[in-house]
Amino acid sequence: MQLSHAVFSGVCLGSVALPLLSQLVLRCRREALFKLLCLRSNSRFIHTCSSSSSSSSRNTLIYLAGWSTSPPFTTNSSAPSVLSFLSNHFHLEPSRWTSTSPFTSATLFTRPLSSSSSSSSSGSSSGTSNGPHELLASKCRVLPFSLSREEADREWRRHHEGLFTSQPSSATTAKASLLPFWCIGTEAHLTLHSAQIGRDYIASRYNPMTRRYEPRWETMWHTVVPNWRYSRRWSTETEETQVYGGSKYRNDPALGRMRPGEYVRQAQTYSEYLRGSADKEQPDRMVPFRLGPAEAVEAARQAVRQSEHRNAEQQLLRTYGGDRVRLVSLDVQLAGLTATPVFSPVFVFKTRVRGTSMRTYVAGFRSGITSGPIFPNAVRVAATAAAVAPVALLATGVLGGFSWSASLLLGVCLPYLLAYGAARCDMAQVGTLLL
Condensed to tens digits (0 to 9), the pLDDT of residues 321-379 reads: 889 999 999 999 999 999 999 999 999 998 887 777 889 999 999 888 999 888 777 77
CA angle 132, 135, 139 (to 5 degrees): 100
CA angle 66, 71, 69 (to 5 degrees): 55
* Three-state secondary structure of the chain: CCCCCCCCEEEECCCCHHHHHHHHHHHCCHHHHHHHHHHHHHCCEEEECCCCCCCCCCCEEEEEECCCCCCCCCCCCCCCCCEEEECCCCCCCCEEEECCCCCCCCCCCCCCCCCCCCCCCCCCCHHHHCCCCCCHHHHCEECCCCCCHHHHHHHHHHHCCCCCEECCCCCEEEEEEEEEEEEEEEEEEEEEEEEEEEEEEEEEEEECCCCEEEEEEEEEEEEECCCEEEEEEECCCCHHHEEECCCCCCCCHHHHHHCCHHHHHHCEEHHHHHHCCCCCCCCCEECCCCCCHHHHHHHHHHHHHHHHHHHHHHHHHHHHCCCEEEEEEEEEEEEEEEEEEEEEEEEEEEEEECCEEEEEEEECCCCCCEECCCEECHHHHHHHHHHHHHHHHHHHCHHHHCCHHHHHHHHHHHHHHHHHHHHHHCHHHHHHHCC
Please tell me the predicted confidence (pLDDT) of residue 188: 95
Please tell me the predicted confidence (pLDDT) of residue 253: 87
Please tell me the predicted confidence (pLDDT) of residue 356: 76
C-alpha–C-alpha distance, residues 159 and 406, integer Å: 40
Please tell me the predicted confidence (pLDDT) of residue 239: 92
Please tell me the predicted confidence (pLDDT) of residue 314: 94
pTM for the predicted model, two decimal places: 0.60
Phi, psi angles (nearest 5°) of residue 282: -90, 130
Residues of the chain with pLDDT under 70: 1-138, 169-171, 278, 386, 391-404, 407-408, 410-412, 416, 419-435
Q: Is 185 exposed, middle or buried (0-12, 13-18, 19+ CB in 10 A)?
A: middle
Please tell me the predicted confidence (pLDDT) of residue 219: 94
Please tell me the predicted confidence (pLDDT) of residue 355: 73
Please tell me the predicted confidence (pLDDT) of residue 300: 93
C-alpha–C-alpha distance, residues 205 and 318, integer Å: 30
Q: How far is CA 90 from the centre of its chain?
A: 15
C-alpha–C-alpha distance, residues 104 and 52, integer Å: 6
Please tell me the predicted confidence (pLDDT) of residue 139: 76
Query: Do the beta carbons of residue 80 and residue 120 sit within 8 Å?
Result: no
**DSSP β-bridge partners for residue 357:** 352
Please tell me the predicted confidence (pLDDT) of residue 48: 33
Condensed to tens digits (0 to 9), the pLDDT of residues 199-213 reads: 999 999 999 998 999
Please name which of 324, 327, 312, 315 lies closest in space to residue 220, comparing C-alpha atoms.
Answer: 324
Q: Is the dihedral of CA 107, 71, 40, 118 positive or negative?
A: negative
| C-alpha Rg value of the chain to the nearest Å | 30
C-alpha–C-alpha distance, residues 412 and 407, integer Å: 8
Please tell me the predicted confidence (pLDDT) of residue 274: 83
C-alpha–C-alpha distance, residues 297 and 87, integer Å: 19
Please name which of 237, 236, 240 lies closest in space to residue 304, comparing C-alpha atoms.
Answer: 240
Residue 88: CB partners within 8 Å, gap ≥ 6?
Answer: 94, 95, 109, 110, 111, 136
Please tell me the predicted confidence (pLDDT) of residue 2: 38
**Domain map of the chain by residue range?**
9-139, 180-339, 378-433
